[in-house]
Every structure is written in C-alpha cells, then in structure tokens.
Structure 1
Amino acid sequence: MISTTIDQEIKQAMLAKDQAKLRGLRAIKAAILLAKTEKGHAEELDQDAEIKILQKLVKQRKESATIYKEQGREDLLLVEQEEIDVISQFLPQQLDQAAIEAVVVRIIAETGATSIKEMGKIMGVANKELAGKADGKLIGEIVKAKLA
C-alpha cells in the first residue's frame, strides 16, 4: 500500500531535512486521509483508489504550474514541479504515446468501431485498460485522431 510507504518516506525526508520531498509526501498523506474520511469508513483504500488520488494531485499541480508559468512566477512554478516529481515516484510508469496508440488501435479493431460516434465506447474500454498508465486527455486525443 502506498500509504504505509508514505509514512516511512516522510520520516526519512524529515531526517534528511529535504523540504521539497517532505511537502510532496505530506500532500499525498493529507489527500489519502481525506479520501478515507470522505467515504465514512476506517478501512484501507485499495491501490487503485490510491493511484487515482495521486493522479489527481499531479493533475492539480500541473494545472497550477501552467498558470504560474504564464504569470512568470518561476518561484511558485519550481515548488509545483518539485511536488510533481515527488508524487510521480509513487505512480506506475506512464506509457509513451506510441504504446498508447498501439492499445487504442487494438481496442478499435476489437470493437469494430468505425466512426467518431463510437468514441464513448472506445474511451470506456481504453480508460479501463490504461488506468494509471496514461493521461485520460491524451487517450481521448489519440482515440479522436484514430476515429476521424
């Protein structure tokens, strides 16, 4: 489980006085604790739920980083990038565009989809198969390009 690893990593980051890593780890821990209390139960989250939380954290930080870059706030951009790097260490390896395209092409062939009208069906299968391994926005762009 990611949450037990996070606790150990926090201790190590505190001892090493690594503030950037500590910030990212604390953000992960807070998000996981929040998710546990939102659902109203004390049981552990499964790994898929933890990965979704981490993906959400990375997405939020990327959006913030984009805004900071547009505003010329390099100091805040650096903070966001450091946290993205820390959080990404706990995510599964992301597939490159060629690998995602190969999966999408295979799914299109298996389902027999021929038009953009069937994008929803393809996206459902692709998101399920590529969960945690690829960004949903990128998957959508590739599906749209292949069906167009």
Structure 2
Amino acid sequence: MVTMTILETLTSDLTVSMKARDAFRTNTLRQMIAALRTAEKSGKTAHELTDAEAETVLTGEVKKRRESAQIYTEAGADERALTETTEADLIESYLPVALTDAQLDSLVAGAIASTGATTPKEMGLVMKAANAAAAGLGRVDGKVLSQKVREALQG
C-alpha cells in the first residue's frame, strides 16, 4: 500500500471538493496547497516538503486563523470569526492528533529526567529534549509545552 503525502492528499481532496461544488472546502484547500507550495519555494533552493515540514506549515496556518478569529470576535465580527475557526478546524483535520495533557506531562517529566534539569535556567535544554521526544507522537503546541516545562521546573 502506497501512502500519500499531505500535499498529495490535499490535491486529491481538492478535486473531490471541486466536483462536489463545495466552495468553502475548495477555497480552504487551495489556500493550504498555496501555503505549502510557497514554503517549498522559500529558502535558498526549492525543495519538496517532507510531511513533517508540511505539518509545520499547516500548523502555522491554523495558528494564523485562530488568532484572526479571536481578533474578529473582539471586534464583533462574529461571522468572520466563525469562518476563520471553521477553516482552522478543516486544516487541523489534516494534522496528527494533538497530545493530551497527560501525555504532555509524561513527556515533560521524561525530558526533565533525561536532562537532569532542576532550575528554570535549564528550560531550553528541557524544551529541546521534549520536542525531540514528541516528534512522531502527535501534534504539540509549543506554547503549552513551554508552560508545562516552566511549571515543572519551578514546582
């Protein structure tokens, strides 16, 4: 069985949504593909993105939309906020499942144990170990991970 890359999956799903005349999904998929193509061409030389790199790009797209939704909500533009949130949810459906709080706590404890860190000054070392350990397990929000590491080192 041949597995498709994220970009191939998006392209295939774009064709399906266009045939189904699902304008919202088609538009969002086009934006996702455009973001990935732009990332491929950025840097010194163009290269095909790995799935891990594609996930990073898509995670950034989700973050942008969540931030926009919050701004729209604060400005009273609830319809625009809903659109941004719905787009973010659609993009997230192409990403690995986020780790639970319990999984993150376990990850942080393991990173602290493996590095021998005891003070908040060693947070960078622990973050590096935690991110390395999280690779391949699922999606991790860097802000949440950072907060958990800080709490664990202070507590």
Is 1:135 the counterpart of 2:105 in the alignment? no
Report the alpha carbon displacement of residue 40 of structure 1 after superposing the two structures with TM: 5.2
Which amino acid is the alignment partner of residue 147 of structure 2? E
RMSD between superposed Cα atoms in Å: 1.4
Is 1:88 the counterpart of 2:92 in the alignment? yes
Matches within 5 A, 1:51-130: 51-130=55-134
Q: Is the 8 A contact 2:41 2:47 kept in 1?
A: no
Instruction: Return the alpha-carbon distance in structure 2 between the equivalents of residues 42 and 121 of structure 1.
Output: 32
Which amino acid is the alignment partner of residue 12 of structure 1? V
Give runs of ≥4 in structure 1 deviating > 6 Å: none
Number of aligned residue pairs: 148
Scaled by the length of structure 2, the TM-score of the pair is 0.89
2:150 — aligned with what? 144
Q: Is the 8 A contact 1:31 1:53 kept in 2?
A: yes
Instruction: Return the alpha-carbon distance in structure 2 between the equivalents of residues 23 and 145 of structure 1.
Output: 41
**Percent identity, aligned pairs only?**
36
Scaled by the length of structure 1, the TM-score of the pair is 0.93
Where do 5+ consecutive residues of structure 2 fail to align? none
**Larger relative CO (CA 8 A, sep 6+): 1 or 2?**
1
Report the alpha carbon displacement of residue 22 of structure 1 after superposing the two structures with TM: 1.5
